[in-house]
Amino acid sequence: MSLKRFHKRCNCFADKVRNCWSEKQCRHRVGPLADKDQSGKIRICRITGDRKLCARMASMGVYPGIEADLICPESGGQCILKIQGSTLSLDKSVSENILVSAI
């Protein structure tokens, strides 16, 4: 991999991490993922928490603006998300830091 391609790839990832704290406006009511109690399509609006959590979420494809399917919501607990063909299981501490809105 050339240095230019590597820099471009890292810069793209860094932009996704920076977007975790951006103030994007969502059309509907925004709330933590842990509080959702109905399955369906959601849009990720913002990721709160420390930089490490935000980087981990971005590496898994969870960043603001992405649409996902909430498969198995458990109000106040774990949840299962389907994002771009992959399935993620998130625990309560992580899902409380992801702010989403229903589509």
Task: Report d(CA 8, CA 55) in Å as an integer.
Answer: 17
User: Residue 67 pLDDT > 90, yes or no?
Assistant: yes
What is the tens place of the pLDDT at every residue in 74-95?
766 788 999 989 999 999 899 9
pLDDT of residue 70: 93
User: Which CATH code for domain 3-102?
Assistant: 2.30.30.90
pLDDT of residue 78: 82
Reported confidence tier of residue 73, pLDDT bands at 50, 70, 90: confident
Following DSSP, what letter does each residue of 52-103 receive, concatenated? HHHHHHHHTT--TT-EEEE-S--TTS-EEEEETTEEEEE-HHHHTTEEEEE-
Reported confidence tier of residue 8, pLDDT bands at 50, 70, 90: low
pLDDT of residue 77: 73
Give the residue extent of every domain in the chain. 3-102
What is the tens place of the pLDDT at every residue in 13-59?
566 555 555 545 566 689 999 888 889 999 999 999 899 999 999 99
pTM, entire model: 0.73
